[in-house]
Structure formats: structure tokens, C-alpha cells
Amino acid sequence: MRYIEPHGHMVSRTTDDYQAMAIAGCQAVSEPAFWAGFDRSSAQGFYDYFCQLTQHEPRRAAMFGLPHYTWLCINPKESEDIKLAEEVLSIIPEFMDCPNVLGIGEIGLNKNSRNEMLVLEKHIDLAASNDQLILVHTPHLEDKRKGTRLILDVLKSDSRISPERCIIDHVEEHTVGMVLDEGFWAGMTLYPETKCTSNRAIDILELYGNEQIWMNSACDWGISVPLAVPRAAQEMKRRGCGSRHIDKVIYQNPIEFMNQSPRFNTPEGL
Amino acid sequence: MTDRKKILDLYFLDARARLIDIAAFMDRVDRADGGDDFRYTAFCAALKALESEKQDRARKVLLVFSDPTEEPIPAATTKAACGAWPGVENA
């Protein structure tokens, strides 16, 4: 089995996790910037984080032969403070030419507030002005439906944005249809309690097909499973999915999306 | 189209266990002291969505728990989501 982990917060994981992922067949890791579980007090904290994402994590992943890619932003959980968000946005261009940066992400909404919307629009402008791919975080639980709708409307209102260059992550049964119908890519996050279980993700694939969709573990500092993608692949096999279908969802689709960035190198053997 | 018997062979025992867990959870809530809670009200409403004969029960359950409004809120006063929409006055 070969797979790509398109959304893993590896700064929160141990080196053992890199090793286990490589042994399980992982061919590359993509790591969006996110909330660290606590609020950073200044833009300097983000500067250090972006250095970690563009310099340190690639070295850690390379110990196990894993190419490491990343995405930059201030997460919507820290977007309520507009002044801090603007300071962080101003330092992102300095890192945009780093060889492992694929785009802007994971941007989006958390509680669907006006300030979060304002900062989302600024991120979209930054991505559009610099021809960057976009990786979107959709809100949690009761806020997801409304937030997903607001995010899609903002993206569609900017004529510079191509839906096929945006992945809308953390979709569930009540949001996947609107995302795919409007031409965006959809990401399914495999979590034990929130977001999608493996079985529900496979149900969604049965109902919506396997085009413009991927699965990820979004492993981070919370309850999450770094090997969620290969475990879901095993469940697909148990349910009777063929190896070509599984390979498309967990390997070829992430490559197809990320290959739209000139910085992504296709693993050998595709 | 997947064979129904195969789906039941794969998932019946798991679903049965989860269903009994839900029943035990409801018994536990009933035994506990305290008043109404919007989360449990939403939970009971979501159970009704299971009675639908259309094949979109998961979507319907998720919608029961979702914020039905369309406009951004004035400001975020918390980072956390609790799993059920508390209503306009408590959002």
C-alpha cells in the first residue's frame, strides 16, 4: 500500500509517528499551519512556527525518506484579533518561496464571526495575488454547515479563485455535496470522535464517487490517529473496494491536487 | 451495489453495541439530577431523524445539531464548539 498524508500536523507528533507512517507506506506528508492549542502572543511566535514548518520539519521527515510540504496562514481560531492577524499576514510572503510551501492554509472559519470572515478574505487575497493553492479548514460540529456555506460564497465571489485549486477540508455528509457540486476539492478528516469515521468516509465515497476528494488524518495534539488513512484503506479493502480504487483515493488524488503547485514533486512510480 | 448481508456481517455487531451504548447513555442522563439542556434536547430530536426512510439519515442528524442561521456572528466569544447549536440568544 502507498499513500499520501495530505493533512498532518507533524509538529505535534513524535518522531515515532514519522517512522510508523513511512513503514505503513506513506510517500509524502503535507502540513498546514494551524492553532497550537494555545494562543500565540505575537507575530514573532508565528515567525518561529513558519521557520519550524519550512526548515525543521522537512529535516525530521527526511530521516524516514518522507518529502515534507507545508501551507502557511494564521488559523481562524486566532483571527479574532485583527491587528495580530495583519501582522502575521505581513510576514507570510517572506516564507512563500520556500521549496516546501504549497500554498495558503489551513484558512477558513471557526465560530463564523465577522473578524474571522475579514481575515479569511485577506488570506484569499494573499493567495490570489501570489497564485497559491488554498487549503481550507471548515468549522467544527454545530458551526460546520453555516461556515462551509460562508466560505464557499467568499471564495466564489473572488473571480481570481479557481475552485479546482482549493481543497475544502473536514467535509461531512451535510457539506460534501455543496463542496463538490461547486467544483471544489473535498477533504475528509478521519477522527475517532468528531469529523468522519473511516466507515462514514467510505460511505461518502460510495455516494459521491472518487473524483476531487481525499482522506487525511489531520493528526495533531488532540485525539487523532496518524495512521488513520492506511487504516481506512484497510477498511475499504474489507468492504470490497479494489486496489486501484483505493490507490486513487489515498495516493493519486492528493498528488493530482498538490501537483498544481510547481513545488510539489511527484513521487516516483506514479 | 454492495450485498446487504455482507454489510450486516461486517457492521451489525458494531452498530448493535453503539445502539446499546446510546440507550445506556439516555438512562444515565435520566438518572442524573438537573434540568433541561439544549444538547440533550438536540440529541433527542436527532433520534427522530433515524426514523426517516430516505437514505440520508446521517446528513439529517448532522443538520439537527447545526446552526441554521446564515449571517456571521458579531464576534467569537469562545473557540470551542459543543456539538449542538445553543440558539441565537446563547450562541
What are the structural domains of chain A? 3-258 (3.20.20.140)
The answer to whether the Cβ–Cβ distance between A114 and B70 falls below 8 Å is no
The answer to whether the Cβ–Cβ distance between B67 and A143 falls below 8 Å is yes
Give the DSSP H or E segment for A101.
strand A101-108
User: Would you state the pLDDT for residue B1?
Assistant: 63
Confidence band of B12 (pLDDT split at 50, 70, 90): very high
The answer to whether the Cβ–Cβ distance between B79 and A238 falls below 8 Å is no
Sign of the C-alpha dihedral computed for residues B40, B43, B44 and B45 taken in this order: positive
User: Would you state the pLDDT for residue B88?
Assistant: 76
Structural domain boundaries in chain B: 1-34, 35-71+82-91
Q: Answer whether A134's CB lies under 8 Å from A105's CB.
A: yes
Per-residue DSSP letter, B54? S
Give the DSSP H or E segment for A28.
strand A26-32
User: Would you state the pLDDT for residue A16?
Assistant: 97
Nearest to A170 by CA among B81, B38, B11: B81
The answer to whether the Cβ–Cβ distance between A203 and B79 falls below 8 Å is no
Residue A63 CB-half CA count within 13 A = 13
User: Which residues of chain B does A115 touch, with a Cβ-Cβ cutoff of 8 Å?
Assistant: 75-76
Q: pLDDT at residue B76 above 60?
A: yes
Please list the helix, strand and coil fractions of chain A in percent, rounded to the nearest 5, in that order.
50, 15, 35
Question: Considering CB atoms only, which of A35, A113, A144 is closest to B75?
Answer: A113
**Roughly what angle, to the nearest 10 degrees, separates helices A114-129 and A82-95?**
20
Low-confidence ranges of chain A (pLDDT < 70): 269-270
User: Which residues of chain A does B6 touch, with a Cβ-Cβ cutoff of 8 Å?
Assistant: 240
Q: Answer whether A53's CB lies under 8 Å from A64's CB.
A: no
Which residue in A has a C-alpha nearest to residue B87's C-alpha? Answer: A142
The answer to whether the Cβ–Cβ distance between A199 and B11 falls below 8 Å is yes
Is residue B89 reached through a cis peptide bond, with omega within 30 degrees of 0 on the bond before it?
no
- Burial letters for A34-51: b for 16+ Cβ neighbours within 10 Å, e otherwise? bbbeeebeebebbbebbe
3-state DSSP assignment of residue A162: coil
Q: Write the ipTM.
A: 0.95
User: Which three cell numbers mark A240?
Assistant: 470490497
User: Would you state the pLDDT for residue B89?
Assistant: 66
The answer to whether the Cβ–Cβ distance between A173 and B62 falls below 8 Å is yes
User: Would you state the pLDDT for residue A270?
Assistant: 55
Which residue in A has a C-alpha nearest to residue B66's C-alpha? Answer: A142
Which residue in B has a C-alpha nearest to residue A39's C-alpha? Answer: B79
- The phi-psi region of residue A38 (left if phi > 0; otherwise alpha if psi is between -120 and 50; otherwise beta) is beta
Which residue in B has a C-alpha nearest to residue A82's C-alpha? Answer: B75
User: Which residues of chain A does B81 touch, with a Cβ-Cβ cutoff of 8 Å?
Assistant: 111, 139-143
* Interface check B67 vs A, CB under 8 A: yes
The answer to whether the Cβ–Cβ distance between B58 and A111 falls below 8 Å is no
- The phi-psi region of residue A246 (left if phi > 0; otherwise alpha if psi is between -120 and 50; otherwise beta) is alpha
- pTM attached to this predicted model: 0.97
The stretch B27-33 carries a mean pLDDT of 98
Alpha helices in chain B (DSSP H): 4-31, 38-49, 57-65
